[in-house]
Amino acid sequence: MKKGIFIIGTDTGVGKTVIAAGLTLVLRAKKRRVGVMKPVATGCFSRGQELVSSDTLFLLEAGGEDTNRETVNPIRFRNPLAPLAAARAEGRSIDTSQILRAYEELHEHFDFVIVEGIGGLMVPFTESYFVSDLIREFQLPVLIVSRTKLGTINHTLLTIEAAKSRGLNVAGIIFNNFRESDLGLDEQTSPKIISDLSRVPVLGMVPHIPKLDVENLQFGNLKQVIEECVNIDAIVE
CB 55 within 8 A of CB 216: no
Q: Is 205 exposed, middle or buried (0-12, 13-18, 19+ CB in 10 A)?
A: middle
Confidence of residue 48 (pLDDT cuts 50, 70, 90): confident
CB atoms inside a 10 Å sphere around CB 94 = 19
The domain in which residue 102 lies consists of 4-236
**Is 192 labeled as catalytic in the residue annotation?**
no
Q: For position 1, what pLDDT does the model report?
A: 53
Total tally of structural domains belonging to the chain: 1
Confidence of residue 181 (pLDDT cuts 50, 70, 90): confident
- Residue 4 exposure: Cα atoms within 13 Å on the Cβ side: 27
pLDDT tens readout for residues 138-161: 999 999 999 988 899 999 999 999
- CATH number, residue 228: 3.40.50.300
In sequence order, which residues have a C-beta less than 8 Å from that of residue 178 and are 6 or more positions away?
Answer: 147, 148, 187, 205, 206, 207, 208
For 168-188, b/e burial (b = at least 16 CB within 10 A) is bebbbbbbbbbeeeeeeeebe
Question: Which of 30, 38, 149, 223 is flagged as catalytic?
Answer: 38
CB atoms inside a 10 Å sphere around CB 133 = 15
pTM for the structure as a whole: 0.95
In terms of Cα–Cα distance, which of 65, 69, 47 is closest to 56? Answer: 69
Q: In this structure, which amino acid lies at residue 66?
A: D
Distance CA 41, CA 54 (A): 9
pLDDT tens readout for residues 55-111: 999 999 999 776 788 999 999 999 999 999 999 999 999 999 999 999 999 999 999
Cross-strand partners of 178: 207
